[in-house]
Chains A and B, each alone.
Chain A
Amino acid sequence: MNMIELLTELAVMPLIAFTIGLFMVLMMRKIAAKIQRRVGPPLLQPLYDIVKLYAKKTQNSHGLVHDIGIIMAVGGYIAAETMLPVPGMNGIAAKSGLLALAYVIMIPSLGLALGVGQCANPNGSIGIARALTAMLAYDVPFVIIIFGASWFYGSNNLIDIVAHQQAGGIATWGAAKMPVLAIAALFSMYAMLGKQPFEIYVAPAEIATGPMVEMGGKYLGGLFVMQCFQLFTASAIYVTMFLGGGENWPFFLVKLFAIIAIPMSMAFVFPRYRTEDVLAVVWRWPVLLGLAGVWLVMH
């Protein structure tokens, strides 16, 4: 592959991810609306929100780190998207792999945490403390699953993992070969998305949306962009590990949206857990399932 082709991929992959992410946000809000018997937002609502926020006339910055935090939150995901293979494009997936990707997507969260810290608002700090606790909760099953998948495919390389699954159709998909791990991964991804009942760190009525408390204008807009990326990334990692990756775009899109739709159809009927209850639930069921799945894979 020549350099120009690669650079084009690096530029195009985040754009695609963002666009898909926008529609995922729309789908999420539509699902919530349908569950609550509402009409829900129009087609381009997520885009209107982001444009409006970026175009705010006055914006409040609490200092350089506040700015840098948002830049890291968006930029980190832009980088992460180039490590996730999509149909026809591999980016730098071969040079990073599943394990590195799992750690690269912590960079945006770290950036956000820094930015929020600089805001000097205790609600934000509490939000970040809870978000990190939630991360400690869902990453434990998540890494068990990464281990299981990586052991099963004998590779850490996402391109290999996709090729391995596409070799024999649905029968060789990860979900067919490692159903227990696939279920655990869905659970863990649900917690990762931070929607009810796992939205401990947003908690609007309790800590005033936690990390977002001092975010307005392009700061909040950056977080909206980050949310688009986050939805796409979580879904794409799942599809790549368990649902055969992307053979072609239509199938890939169906899989991506379906994977987000599953937790979202459950989320909006729940209230919110307390922080320690998130730990209890996530450290119990997905971890047990994950360990059982790894045992099955290894024996």
Chain B
Amino acid sequence: MSTLKNIPVVSHEKPSGGTGNLLANVFDELMAFCRSRSLFMLHYCTGCGAIELPPAMTSRFDMERLGIQPMVTPRQADILLVTGYVSTKTLKRIILTYEQMNSPKYVIGICSCTVNGGMYWQSYATAKKLNDYLPVDMYIAGCMPRPEAVIHGLRELMENIKKGESDNWRDYYRRYDHYLGNQQRLFGENWQTPTDIIGEARHYDLMGPETLGPHTALLEQHQTPLKPFEMTLGLADLPVRKDEPR
């Protein structure tokens, strides 16, 4: 069984910069600092760990003094908190939610269940290791972890972000094929989310050696295309292709 130390926290590269341009470095440091001091979290309250979050947020421990506050939709959030066991059905939603978040984004697994399945180890319907499917930045183990532990974990994450070490979200783009493969193994080969990870990786220049692979090829076979509707003029009086429907 893995211990916390053995779970790979992959960090491929520092954020761009470090090229000797002092101004750019200062700017990057500043951005990293702001990122670490302003974390909006989306708590995906799947299991019992959720109950430890209210005390962490309210008057006893007050996350807001660290700049952490709850948000409602994935678009607004920086942290995805998965607070307990993850059933196969739930995992689909978690993956969709994660993919809808804007990078830089961080995943925190709270409770033993996210680490290794916990007491659901023998369950046929529970995903055991969250980081097979999503790049987890921080595990807060315990059954359940006390609010102190949650706060401690969040402070660690802040520290990592400030140092530029916590960028596993890049890993999801760079090794998408690996994650997708695990997802396909669980959900079947028709698995598809309405988000376009490969397109995003291309758009933001986040492609890595394993972004594309056999699994993404399989995805492309089954995928219903999700090209965004570009604004088109398509004026009738301009010459149009013959096959274009009128």
By a beta-carbon cutoff of 8 Å, the part of chain A in contact with chain B is 29, 33, 36-42, 45, 47-49, 51-53, 55-60, 63-64, 204-205, 208-209, 212-217, 219-220
Partner-binding segment picked from B81-89, B99-107, B118-126 = B99-107
Pairwise interchain contact A63-B102, C-beta atoms closer than 8 A: no
Residues of A contacting B203 in the complex (Cβ-Cβ under 8 angstroms): 58
Q: State in angstroms the CA–CA spacing of A38 and B68 once bound together.
A: 13
Q: Mark B136-165, 1 if CB is under 8 A from A, else 0.
A: 000000000000000000000000000000
Q: List 16 A-B contacts (CB under 8 A).
A: A39-B64, A48-B38, A51-B31, A55-B35, A56-B103, A58-B103, A58-B200, A58-B204, A63-B231, A208-B72, A208-B73, A209-B73, A213-B72, A215-B75, A216-B76, A216-B77
Task: Check if B62 is an interface residue, CB within 8 A of chain A.
Answer: yes
A41-B64, A42-B67 are known contacts. Are A212 and B76 too (CB-CB below 8 A)? yes
Q: Is B59 positioned at the interface, with any CB of A under 8 Å from its CB? A: yes
Chain A's closest residue to B78 (CB) is A52
Assembled-state Cα–Cα distance A33/B57 (Å): 11
Closest to B30 in A: A51
Smallest Cβ-Cβ distance to B203: which chain A residue:
A58
| Chief secondary structure at chain B's binding surface | loop
Do the beta carbons of B204 and A57 come within 8 Å of each other? yes
Give the one of A56, A58, A212 with max B CB within 10 A.
A58
Cα distance, A254 to B38, chains bound together (Å): 28
Interface residue? B242 (CB, 8 A) = no
Chain B 217-236 residues near chain A, CB threshold 8 A: 228-229, 231
Check if A38 sits within 8 Å of B76, measured CB to CB. no
Pair A37/B59 contact, Cβ less than 8 Å: yes
When distances are taken between beta carbons in the complex, the residues of chain B under 8 Å from A60 are 75, 100, 102
Evaluate contact between A55 and B65: CB separation under 8 angstroms. Answer: no
Interface residue from A57, A209, A212 paired with B102 (Cβ < 8 Å): A57
A214 adjacent to B73 (CB under 8 Å)? yes
Further contacts, 19 of them, CB under 8 A, given A58-B102, A58-B200, A60-B75: A36-B59, A38-B58, A38-B59, A41-B65, A45-B37, A48-B67, A52-B34, A52-B38, A56-B104, A57-B103, A57-B204, A60-B102, A63-B228, A208-B72, A209-B72, A216-B77, A217-B75, A217-B102, A220-B75
Q: Which residue of A lies closest to B27 (CB)?
A: A55
Please indicate the chain A residues that have their CB under 8 angstroms from the CB of B74 in the complex.
Answer: 216
Among A48, A51, A204, contact of B72 (Cβ-Cβ < 8 Å): A204
Chain B contacts for A42, CB-based, 8 A:
37, 65, 67
B67 lies within 8 A of A41 (CB)? yes
A215 touches B76 (CB 8 A): yes
Q: Which residues of B contact A64 (CB under 8 A)?
A: 231
Q: Chain B 92-123, CB within 8 Å of chain A: the 1/0 string?
A: 00000000111110000000000000000000
Cβ contacts under 8 Å, B37 to chain A = 42, 45, 48, 52
Contact A40 B64 (CB under 8 A): yes
Q: Which of A29, A36, A45, A220 contacts B58 (CB 8 A)?
A: A36
Identify the closest chain A residue to B204 (Cβ): A58
CA distance A49 to B102 in the complex (A): 14
